[in-house]
Every structure is written in structure tokens, then in C-alpha cells.
Amino acid sequence: IMDLILEQGLDPSSLIAEVNFKLVPQESWKDVPVRQGDTIELLSFVGGG
């Protein structure tokens, strides 16, 4: 997952990741491969109202 995040130019420190509807801890991102057919969501929380 980390490779995908970096390829997209995203800041990993501001994201949470979900793969196939399961949250993936940030410390595991470098070990989780992205496979064809996976559903990946990268969420960023923004302050404001």
C-alpha cells in the first residue's frame, strides 16, 4: 500500500487505509501488497466545519 500512496504523491501521515473493507494499520502498509481486484480506500481527515 505504501508504494501506491507514494506513487500518488500523498502524505502518508495524514491518511488511513482500508483494503477490501478492512482497516490496515499504518505500520503494516509497507508489507501489504496491492493485488488486482482489491478494493482500496485511502481516507484523509480534514479539520473544519
Q: What pLDDT does residue 48 have?
A: 82
Domain spans in the chain, listed from the N-terminal domain onward: 2-44
Q: What pLDDT does residue 47 have?
A: 80
What's the chain look like in SS3?
Answer: CHHHHHHCCCCHHHEEEEECCEEECHHHHHHCCCCCCCCEEEEECCCCC
Q: Which CATH superfamily is domain 2-44 in?
A: Beta-grasp domain (3.10.20.30)
Q: What pLDDT does residue 45 have?
A: 83
**Bridge partners, 44 (sequence order):** 15
Q: What pLDDT does residue 46 have?
A: 81
pTM of the entire predicted model: 0.79
Report percent pLDDT > 70 for the chain: 98
Q: What pLDDT does residue 49 have?
A: 66
Instruction: Give the separation between CA 2 and CA 32, rounded to whole angstroms.
Output: 8
Where the chain has pLDDT below 50, the residues are none
